[in-house]
Structure 1
Amino acid sequence: MTILAIDLGGTQFKSGLVSDTFELEKAFEARPAAHDIETCQEILKELISPHLDEIEGIAISCPGTVDPETGTVYKGGMLRYLDGFSFKVFLEDLYQKPVAVINDGKAAVLAELASGHLKGVQNGLAMIVGTGLGGGLIINGQLYQGSHFQAGELTFSLPQGKRDPLTGSDLAGAQLSAVNLISTCAKALHLADEQDGRAVFEAIKAEDERVYPIFQTYCRSFAIQINNCQSLLDVEKVVIGGGISSQDILIEEINRQLDQLEEEETWVFQVIKRPEVKACFYHNAANLIGATYFLEQRIAIDRK
């Protein structure tokens, strides 16, 4: 069974062909994200139409709250125009092939459960950094969606202090946004391209004093968020995904910051067991793999 998986992100739309053993057989060139529903629909048609003869279904990963039964997206996260749109209705009417839709953070955690670093784990958390901070939960070996399909929406964690009610700039999604980190560091380095992640991480690895303290502060916030999640969830393992998770220094520094927190707040860590923290196995392909896994689950249920 070959599935066409599509990941709709805040900055890029990615797609690829995924096998029934959850291997990315072919990745296609990413497209810039659409800014309205009409353009989004046209891009979907362009991505899907050439592969109709070789695929058995279409798997969609996207931001927002997703009702898995109807395939309808609510709010839409960074893609607000998706609010109220049903990918399942739209695409099944067009192509008469099974379609499943899942939130991007939940897709990532399913990829890790299927054949990544959460395989065999009973309780685990995926934290996915990109434009914001997505997440997904595995509880008792199963994806936990929550009462309103919103479990794992880490972007919307509120700070303890005051925040700007208009921008929400102190939300966890802003503090831990990979896009914001790279942009802030690029400005400090006076780079022409404020999204030049490669140059930013070269400077971070060199411990450039213009950006390394920014990076350390970012990882400190990440470590605190992990500890706060652990106090509620008590998971075995936390995996971190998104483009920057492929940078070994990110996981290393987050673990260093956890070490420092443990020294500073010994009494907390005497009660709250620290989880293992590592990068997602799939990095950027996680959402494509996880959406495919979810579609295969839905197909299996429908056949019973």
Structure 2
Amino acid sequence: MARPTEPLLVIDIGGTTVKYGVWAHQQLGQTGRFDTPQQWPDLLNELLRVQRRYPQDFAGVAISLPGSVDTVAGKISGTSAVEYLNGFPIKAALRAAMGVPVSIQNDANCAALAESWRGNARDVADALFMIIGTGVGGAMLVDHQLVTGRQHFTGEFGYMVMNERGETLSELASPVRMARRYSRQADLLTAVSAQEVYDAAAAGDAVAQQCITAMMGWLSVGAFNSYVSVNPQRLLIGGGISARPGFVAQLRAQIQQLMYQHGAPIEVDVQPCQFRNEANLIGAVRQFDLEFGDTAPLAATAEVPVSR
């Protein structure tokens, strides 16, 4: 008999922010966040503090995090936005500290699981995902199944080398890094956010406009290369910037233009992830369910309410 999989403490560890919430009665609620600590002991203490603040007896903890995640060995490898998570049995360490079953999965894979379970990929068998944030992550579904590869590295589109200088897609197409380039080129003394660069561009700042144009160009080339390599039914775009009005539509148009330019007979289907900033948390729930609960797929038309 499958063990109970609710309520769950769900956690999304990112390069700058850790988000968390409670999954109960088939919905996500009681969400919060804190800045990502600089060291593992501090992160673990914060996670334990979050666990203690809730009155529930959790059935488990479902975690989304960056890096190449081996869900069986419970370890992370490769380049990661939070480097101190790598190279040790983190799943076992969390299980011992938190006292309940723990699942871990790559953040982009979690977004894919969420969207294929109850989101904008539930009606297609094959899909690619590009998750745009501090870097560019990704995931791939084939025949409704998450494909991770031998070294758990499938979908790491951000590693693609894009020019003769050896710069990668993550380096060239991340909004975070685009904002850093703008700061340097505009000779600013303080850091700015991608939103502030967009605001400057809207006000007529030519440097901001050039930085955004370059970022979009690299994103479209990376997406084009991925699309023609795999030929998915749909490409889904995640990360905070995907919620920006017109962003996905512009990216779709630029990818399609590349198809025309290079004679590729493909009409692209590019959509935003339905769950946007909640996708990693909801996908972590699905990963926990696949590991510890009833793995039968739910109805394709199911909706996930998000309470506040």
Bin the TM-score by the shorter chain.
Answer: 0.7 to 0.9
Does 1:178 pair with 2:183?
no
Question: Of 82, 101, 116, which residue of structure 1 is paired with 2:104?
Answer: 101
Change (3 A) 1:180 1:205: same
Question: In the TM superposition, what is the alpha-carbon distance from 1:98 to its structure 2 partner?
Answer: 1.6
CA offset digits 1:105-163 (Å, max 9, x no partner)? 11111111111111121001111111111111111101111111111111211235242
Q: Which residue of 1 aligns with 2:305?
A: none
The 8 Å contact of residues 224 and 259 in structure 2, kept in 1 or not, is answered as: no
Question: Of 59, 62, 71, which residue of structure 2 is paired with 1:68?
Answer: 71
Question: Of 21, 26, 48, which residue of structure 1 is paired with 2:30?
Answer: 26
SS at match of 2:100: coil
Does 1:244 pair with 2:241?
yes
CA offset digits 1:222-267 (Å, max 9, x no partner)? 11111111122111111111111110232122123224323432x2
1:247-258 superposed matches below 5 A = 247-258=244-255
Higher RCO (C-alpha 8 Å, min separation 6): 2
- % identical aligned pairs: 25
Question: In the TM superposition, what is the alpha-carbon distance from 1:62 to its structure 2 partner?
Answer: 0.8
What amino acid maps onto 1:56 in structure 2? A
Question: In the TM superposition, what is the alpha-carbon distance from 1:192 to its structure 2 partner?
Answer: 6.5
CA offset digits 1:88-112 (Å, max 9, x no partner)? 2122223332210001111111111
Q: Which residue of 1 aligns with 2:17?
A: 12
What amino acid maps onto 1:32 in structure 2? D
1:120-269 superposed matches below 5 A = 120-163=123-166, 170-186=167-183, 194-205=191-202, 208-265=205-262, 267=263, 269=264
What amino acid maps onto 2:239 in structure 1? G
Q: So what's the TM-score if we normalise by structure 1?
A: 0.87
The 8 Å contact of residues 205 and 249 in structure 1, kept in 2 or not, is answered as: no
The CA distance in 2 between the partners of 1:84 and 1:274, in whole Å, is: 42
Does 1:298 pair with 2:264?
no
Change (3 A) 1:302 1:196: closer
| Unaligned ranges ≥5, structure 2 | 1-5, 297-308
Change (3 A) 1:195 1:20: farther
What amino acid maps onto 2:45 in structure 1? E
| Unaligned ranges ≥5, structure 1 | 164-169
The CA distance in 2 between the partners of 1:279 and 1:159, in whole Å, is: 24
Change (3 A) 1:197 1:161: closer
SS at match of 1:211: helix
Change (3 A) 1:185 1:234: same
Q: Which residue of 2 aligns with 1:283?
A: 276
What amino acid maps onto 2:15 in structure 1? G
SS at match of 1:248: coil
Change (3 A) 1:252 1:209: farther
SS at match of 2:150: coil
The 8 Å contact of residues 230 and 274 in structure 1, kept in 2 or not, is answered as: no
The CA distance in 1 between the partners of 2:181 and 2:23, in whole Å, is: 35
Q: So what's the TM-score if we normalise by structure 2?
A: 0.86
Does 1:58 pair with 2:55?
no
Change (3 A) 1:196 1:172: closer
The 8 Å contact of residues 136 and 151 in structure 1, kept in 2 or not, is answered as: yes
Question: In the TM superposition, what is the alpha-carbon distance from 1:179 to its structure 2 partner?
Answer: 0.6
Give the paired residue count. 291
Does 1:117 pair with 2:120?
yes
The 8 Å contact of residues 13 and 65 in structure 2, kept in 1 or not, is answered as: yes
Question: Which deviates more, 277-286 or 207-216?
Answer: 207-216
The CA distance in 2 between the partners of 1:263 and 1:8, in whole Å, is: 39
Change (3 A) 1:204 1:290: farther
Question: In the TM superposition, what is the alpha-carbon distance from 1:87 to its structure 2 partner?
Answer: 3.2
The 8 Å contact of residues 198 and 208 in structure 2, kept in 1 or not, is answered as: no
